[in-house]
Amino acid sequence: MTTNRVTPKTGLTLGVIGCGNMAGAILTGVLDSCAKTREAGEEPRIVRFIATVNSEGSAKRVKNQFSKYSDRLEVIQGDNVKAMKEADVVLLGFKPYMIDLVLTVDGVREALAGKLIISVLAGSPVDKLNAAIFHAGPRTEDEKPFFIKRAMMNMAAEYGQSMTVLETNPFIPEEYEDLIEWMFSQLGKTAPVAPELYDVAGVMAGASGALLSIAFDGMLDGAVSQGMKRADANKILTQSLISLATLLQNEHPAVLREKFSSPKGTTIAGLLSLEEDRARYAYSKATIASSERSKEIGN
């Protein structure tokens, strides 16, 4: 049986527009992967990187952060259009409120023509991005179409342990889909999601860590109140969460709670305390609030 796999393109240039924390985490993972490919004597898929920032201070920060890759990473201050023109693939990493400020600038539309655009902007649907880029009028027949792919990951991308949700788009060519899957596989695992589920999936991938950190911090406070040093409790609880993540890949949370709970035991006492304080409802409510906020930003 034959397949329709495309031959991966190499020698590409990636332009990162707005190199903040999330875009920086992506850049770290992809740069490291490409460096390993080069060390193996092969040409990496991406050989040149461009990162744009707004301030001189940010430029210094990015240059220092990626100093070992200064031979292949160019940092540009205040000229996003130049980076877009020179890039084969454009990653939008600025703050969502800056969409009009960045994408309505003269030359952006022409610079993006025929290219793959990857957006990691929360609450920014494809229609909103298109509206900004085509603010002066609809695409003409002689303009090359560009292709927008939305992705949402978490800060663990820097360590290759992220979960990235990728919004499905049937119009993106297979060679671009292959490149996208490769890029985000360097940062951890990926999962495709339909457009109508992207906001809540983005919360599961991106915001969930911050929400769960509240529970983590509360448990540390409880351990300290019982006489334990915070550093020691942090070490134990961190590994316990890693263990829990492994278990949850194979069993439902309710099944695990039942296995953990012994009659008149410590676990069931703690679980009943959480139920009394409506902890599950609080986390459900927080997840819904984050998802709804993502939808509001997109309107």
Residues annotated within the binding site for NADP(+) are: 17-22, 52
Binding site for NADPH, by residue number, is 80
Binding site, by residue number, is 17-22, 52, 80
* DSSP 8-state secondary structure symbol assigned to residue 204: I
CB 95 within 8 A of CB 114: no
Q: How far apart are CA 36 and CA 45, in angstroms?
A: 12
Q: Is 117 helix (H, G, I), strand (E, B) or coil?
A: strand
Q: How far apart are CA 186 and CA 26, in angstroms?
A: 9
Tokens matching residue 21: 């924390």
Tokens matching residue 64: 């220092």
Half-sphere exposure for 46 (CA within 13 Å, toward CB): 28
* DSSP 8-state secondary structure symbol assigned to residue 69: G
CB 153 within 8 A of CB 164: yes
The helix (run of H) or strand (run of E) holding residue 65 is: helix 56-65
The type of residue at 208 is S
The widest CA-to-CA distance across the chain, in whole angstroms, is: 74
Neighbour-count burial for 57-95, b at 16+ CB within 10 Å, e otherwise: ebbeebbebbeebeebbbbbeeebbbbbbebbbbbbbbe
CB 49 within 8 A of CB 55: no
| Residue 47 backbone phi and psi in degrees, to 5 | -110, -20
* DSSP 8-state secondary structure symbol assigned to residue 159: G
